[in-house]
Structure 1
C-alpha cells in the first residue's frame, strides 16, 4: 500500500493565500489613496 500526500490541499491553500494577499493589498491601496485625496483637498482649501 502506497501512502502519497494529496497535493490539492497545498494548491488550494496557495491560491487562497495569493488571492487573500492581493485583496488585502488592493484594499490598503484604496484606503491610502482616499487619505491622500482628502489631504490634497484640505491643502487646496487653505
Structure 2
C-alpha cells in the first residue's frame, strides 16, 4: 500500500528515514538525560535528608 511518489520517491523516503532517525535519537537522549537528572535529584534529596536528620539528633 505504498503511495505513488513519482520520480522523487528516493528523496521523500530518505527524508522520512532521516526524520525518524533524528526523532529516535532525540527520544533516547532525552530519556538518558532524564535518568541522569533523576539520579542527581535523588542524591541531593538523600543528602538533604541526612543533614536534617543529623541536625535533629544534635539539637535533641
Smaller-chain TM-score bracket: 0.7 to 0.9
TM-align CA RMSD? 0.8
- Residue 26 (structure 2) pairs with residue 28 (structure 1): yes
Q: TM-score, normalised on structure 2? A: 0.61
Q: Give 1:31 shift.
A: 0.5
1:3 aligns to what? none
> How far does residue 29 in structure 1 lie from its aligned partner after superposition?
0.7
Over residues 1-46 of structure 1, what are the superposed CA-to-partner deviations in whole Å (9 max), with x where a residue is unaligned?
A: xxxxxx33x0011100000000000001100111110000001112
- Structure having greater relative contact order (Cα 8 Å, sep ≥ 6): 2
User: Hey, which bits of structure 1, 4+ residues long, moved more than 4 A?
Assistant: none
Q: TM-score, normalised by structure 1?
A: 0.77
> Unaligned regions of 5+ residues in structure 1, if any?
1-6
Max radius of gyration: which structure?
2
Unaligned runs of 5+ in 2: 1-5, 45-60
